Structure 1
Amino acid sequence: MRRFIPDTFADHLESRPGTLKLAGRTGITWRGFWTGIFLSFFLAIGAPYANTAMHATFMAWDFNTPGAIFLFLVLIGLLNVLFKVAARNGVWALGMAVVALGAYLAYYLPQEQFDVLDPGWWLASFLVVSALINLGAVLRGGSLALNRADLVLVYVMLLMVSALCTMGMSQQLLPIIAAFFYYATPQNQWEEKLRALFPEYAILVDDGEDNRAFFEGGEIPYGAWVEPLVWWAVFLSALYVVMVSLAVILRRQWMDRERLAYPITQVGRAMVQGEGQGLLNRFFTSRAMWYGCAIPLFFGSLKALHHYEPALPAFNLSWGMPYVGSQVLQLRIIFALIGFSYLINTSISAGLWVFQLIAKAESEALILMGVISKQKFVYGIAGQPYLAYQGGGALIAMVLVGLWVGREHIGGVFRKAFGGGRDVDDGDEITTYRSAVCGLLIGFGVMVGWLWLMGVHLWVAAVFIGLALLIFIGISRVVAEAGLAAVRSPMIAPDLMIQGLGANLVGTSGVFNLSLAYIWCADIRIFVMALLVNGLKLIEDLDRRSRRLVLWGVYLAILIGAIGSCWMVLQMAYRHGGINLVGWLFKGGPSTVYN
């Protein structure tokens, strides 16, 4: 019998050292941080610009993170290739710098003014500065070309920004905290019913003119935004520290002990491992990749051209099919999800279909039996509250069982954090277990204290934060194990607290403040923890020093993503008027919070 190593595994063994030498360098370098910082900022401003100014594809809507993948493809397929070419000698580097600077000046000098909100200007400026930096590096015997460790850092940073730049934070936070005064009318009676529940601290924006300029366009009253954004920055910073800490605490249990598959990570891994000594990344030599790229590119281009010229044909890629009684199966061809589904285990993908059909049948059975809830939900399984409770309970039970299964590892983590556990090694983590546990406990305390200051009963705040974190852990586990690129919780924490415990028990002030939690735990299609859990799978081949540097990259990306995206959303809202941008994010979603 012929014995051989399969090609896929051979590639894995070849790339196992991971930090491939490039120009004498191994591990993460300043070059990775330089590129990661800019691309993070570019994604932070580019993603909200795309879906507001251009009404284009959402670049950071779900866990498939198309914006991050696209920028990473540009990096490995174009920018890194140019830096490798320029690294051959000083003449090549000088030529690239001269061409970049000349083209930049030729395009921008004749213009009387340029738009600082234009992502294209930021990209062009980065290319010019990078070409000049690369010239200096080449003359000193180096280059700006990135090795695999640098690429891992950049990719993880892009994932972090994706979790914040649109749906995950900025386009939820800013419209919601500005919406109350603009949408309050005598008909909805928000002023009469809700104004008395406001905390004494300014966590909502009030510019004195009903925030009209934010929704209709005008000058930015920066003073009105400072205090609310500072308060929310405190809470959200604590939340992200807790998410990073949980990802570190659970990494070894999920990755090494339970051997979760991390299907989504295979995309980033393939791009990183394709980087070698050659000029072109091996990822671009795959025929299957180009075939997979051509099909959605054809249909997407045809759809775009159809909008400009209606005479051109367009294919309908969504259908509704009768199933049982009044139940309808929605069938849609989404090429990105088809691509990610290829990476999913067949038993899981079959289970998704089977249990979707069972859930539809169960919903119809409840209707036929007259078991209909009067409760109304907007997020999760909104149409059938009983299924929402069932799914939410199942998700929480799954998390609790998982924590019980991993009790030995989690116990070791806490022993290590508090001075014991000498047999527990945390050298391969991005931070020590002591730092992770302290981050978890302090962050949890800050969030609970923040809600208490805003008027929520202390025990309600603690239970609510714990419940929300269980849901975040559950969704992160589903993404890591099943590889679902688009997934939401069947029931969100605010609804489970308010509807499950009852408004009387939570208190009127508590109900109001937990409703504001819709900002960070309602339509949770994308968030930091789930993406970081997958990103940490990529650090397996990094040395210990590089792993610790990844933590700085994570926090740096979170900071850049938050500031850059909030700046862009503010600018676009006041320039064009929020009501002219994304309807749900600037009207439907914010109104839901206060209704």
Structure 2
Amino acid sequence: MLTALPLIATTLLFLLILLINVPLSKLKRGLRPGELLIVFIMMLVGCSIPTMGLSEQLLPILAGGRYYATEFNRWEGLIFSHMPDWLAVKDSEAVRCFFEGLPKGGRIPWAAWKAPLIAWLSFILALYAVMYSMMVIIRKQWMEKERLLYPLMQLPEEMVESPKEGSTINQFFKNPVLWLGISVPVVISSINGLHTYFHFIPEITLNSGFPIFRNTTGVYMQISFPVIGITYLLSTSLSLSLWLFSILGTIQTGIFNILGYSIGAREAYCAYSPSVSHQGFGAMIVLVIFIIWMAKGHLKDVFRKAFKGDKNIDDNDEALSYRAAVFILIFGLIFMMGWLVKSGLPIHIAMLLMVAAFVVFIALTRVIVQGGMLVVKSPLTPQVFTIAAVGSNAIGLSGLTALAYSFIWCADLKVFLMPYVAHSFKLVEEIKMNKRLITLSILIAVLVSMAGSIYTV
């Protein structure tokens, strides 16, 4: 499952402490809590890139267009004639090898991938730099002024907590309720796994549903053990909002279906109902406006420090100086804008797409760090919003082609870097570490994860 708290990172931290650090602690060689958190931060950030974060979007999309192009769908004339050569892989043999495998003894044709990978990775690194600088700029507002809780970080903080004097295992791992909670999904998942191979073993059903409103929609339920565990950290008001507005959205969808009212078809990677999708995106826009309004005083201080060097504003406790963060933000956005225009988007469409994308990034990050939501997803993709806002005719053929390739970085957003950076700053705050040092750790994690995932996909 792709979540705001990657299960693989949490599991590896769990095993690192139990299987490696506890024995080393008995020899007085164990890692301290701060060192364990640095390891976890690098795993956390690294998890934002493989699979749906980047690599499983980037490579198949770069090669997929050419692979699936035929004389019948006429993509050669409809798509490829309206895009620059560097936007995707052109070599048909390299594309075929990507999907069908290399011949025996063959080597990866890196030459065919060189130009598109360099172009796209430069854009992605600029995007990551902008995300990082945004989190540096907003950190003090969220952590010190608004005092957001960052509920998801309670778990790793308790896992690395120092044990009592004379013990090598802390209270978290000694709690019998923890092991009881672990045993429930282990037993049920094991039974269902055995059922796959031995049908005489009964399956335990974890999902169900029933139709309503004359079978035009339905109520669907699924038991997710990670979500159940993390939901314990949610506030009661947020828990109420989740199921209440889910029910209201289902009722609205059912009423619209019965009346025959529709605003269009359901788009890919969007919410189950088009009306709910657009309402949800409107709510995200309002949320981001509210976030900026709440932070206006702090943002004035940041820009005054960046451009005027105001000595009364202290940024020594930040991961980057405010001047560095602001200039990285500005030049990163300019680079992204120029890149998108060069790819074929009209400049005003590129601006609209970037605004929509960062609305999604900021809104989802805020929901994660304030509410502790484990699984989040935008109700509407930035691409669908852009087309709905101006119409496809205003975007043009080259613009629509470039917009399609933007699915690589801002469409099916299950994981992305920004909330992991925000969580990293929270963990660093807890261990009282110099935040300037964490920048290097995060950069290393990003580069290693990017190189490893692209090579192995």
TM-score, with structure 1 as normaliser: 0.73
- Structure 2 residue 421 is the aligned partner of structure 1 residue 421: no
- Structure 2 residue 222 is the aligned partner of structure 1 residue 337: no
| Matched residue, 1:469 | 358
- Mean CA deviation greater in 367-376 or 519-528: 367-376
Map residues 84-233 of structure 1 onto 2, 5 A cutoff: 84-87=25-28, 143=29, 145-199=30-84, 201-209=85-93, 211-218=95-102, 219=106, 220-233=108-121
Q: Secondary structure at the match of 2:449?
A: helix
Over 3 Å counting, the alpha-carbon distance change for 1:445 and 1:275 in structure 2 is farther
Offset of residue 434 of structure 1 = 1.4
| Matched residue, 1:493 | 382
The residue type equivalent to 2:72 in the other structure is Q
1:29-77 deviation digits (Å, cap 9, x = unpaired): xxxxxxxxxxxxxxxxxxxxxxxxxxxxx5xx22131110111111111
Offset of residue 453 of structure 1 = 1.4
Aligned match for 1:518, one of 386, 389, 407:
407
| Matched residue, 2:185 | 296
> How far, CA to CA, are the matches of 1:310 and 1:423 in structure 2?
71
- Structure 2 residue 15 is the aligned partner of structure 1 residue 69: no
Map residues 234-249 of structure 1 onto 2, 5 A cutoff: 234-249=122-137
Q: Secondary structure at the match of 2:56?
A: helix
- Structure 2 residue 200 is the aligned partner of structure 1 residue 259: no
- Structure 2 residue 239 is the aligned partner of structure 1 residue 349: yes
Offset of residue 544 of structure 1 = 4.9
Contact 1:380–1:490 (8 Å) recurs in 2: yes
> How far, CA to CA, are the matches of 1:371 and 1:323 in structure 2?
17
Offset of residue 83 of structure 1 = 2.4
> How far, CA to CA, are the matches of 1:504 and 1:555 in structure 2?
41
> How far, CA to CA, are the matches of 1:437 and 1:396 in structure 2?
23
1:546-567 deviation digits (Å, cap 9, x = unpaired): x211111111111111111111
Contact 1:181–1:210 (8 Å) recurs in 2: no
Map residues 573-584 of structure 1 onto 2, 5 A cutoff: none
Q: Secondary structure at the match of 1:320?
A: strand
> How far, CA to CA, are the matches of 1:80 and 1:444 in structure 2?
42
1:71-100 deviation digits (Å, cap 9, x = unpaired): 11111112112322344xxxxxxxxxxxxx
| Matched residue, 1:409 | 298
Structure 1 spans left out of the alignment, 5+ residues = 1-57, 88-142, 570-595
The residue type equivalent to 1:164 in the other structure is I
| Matched residue, 1:100 | none
Contact 2:66–2:92 (8 Å) recurs in 1: no
- Structure 2 residue 456 is the aligned partner of structure 1 residue 568: yes
> How far, CA to CA, are the matches of 2:236 and 2:432 in structure 1?
34
Q: Secondary structure at the match of 2:228?
A: helix
- Structure 2 residue 204 is the aligned partner of structure 1 residue 315: yes
Aligned match for 2:288, one of 377, 399, 413:
399
| Matched residue, 1:537 | 426
**Residues matched between the structures, number:** 451
Contact 2:319–2:437 (8 Å) recurs in 1: yes
| Matched residue, 1:557 | 445
> How far, CA to CA, are the matches of 1:430 and 1:461 in structure 2?
30
> How far, CA to CA, are the matches of 2:359 and 2:311 in structure 1?
29
Contact 1:148–1:275 (8 Å) recurs in 2: no
> How far, CA to CA, are the matches of 1:559 and 1:283 in structure 2?
33
Offset of residue 463 of structure 1 = 2.5
Contact 1:182–1:211 (8 Å) recurs in 2: yes
Structure 2 spans left out of the alignment, 5+ residues = none
Over 3 Å counting, the alpha-carbon distance change for 1:250 and 1:410 in structure 2 is same
Q: Secondary structure at the match of 2:308?
A: coil
Q: Secondary structure at the match of 1:450?
A: helix
1:528-559 deviation digits (Å, cap 9, x = unpaired): 001221222112233353x2111111111111
The residue type equivalent to 1:244 in the other structure is Y
Contact 2:163–2:171 (8 Å) recurs in 1: yes
Contact 1:373–1:386 (8 Å) recurs in 2: yes
Rg larger in 1 or in 2? 1
- Structure 2 residue 400 is the aligned partner of structure 1 residue 506: no
> How far, CA to CA, are the matches of 1:503 and 1:433 in structure 2?
39
Aligned match for 1:548, one of 433, 436, 443:
436
1:421-441 deviation digits (Å, cap 9, x = unpaired): 322222222221112111211
> How far, CA to CA, are the matches of 1:503 and 1:376 in structure 2?
17
The residue type equivalent to 1:246 in the other structure is M
Contact 1:182–1:210 (8 Å) recurs in 2: no
The residue type equivalent to 1:347 in the other structure is S
1:377-407 deviation digits (Å, cap 9, x = unpaired): 10122x4222211111110111111101110
The residue type equivalent to 2:9 in the other structure is A
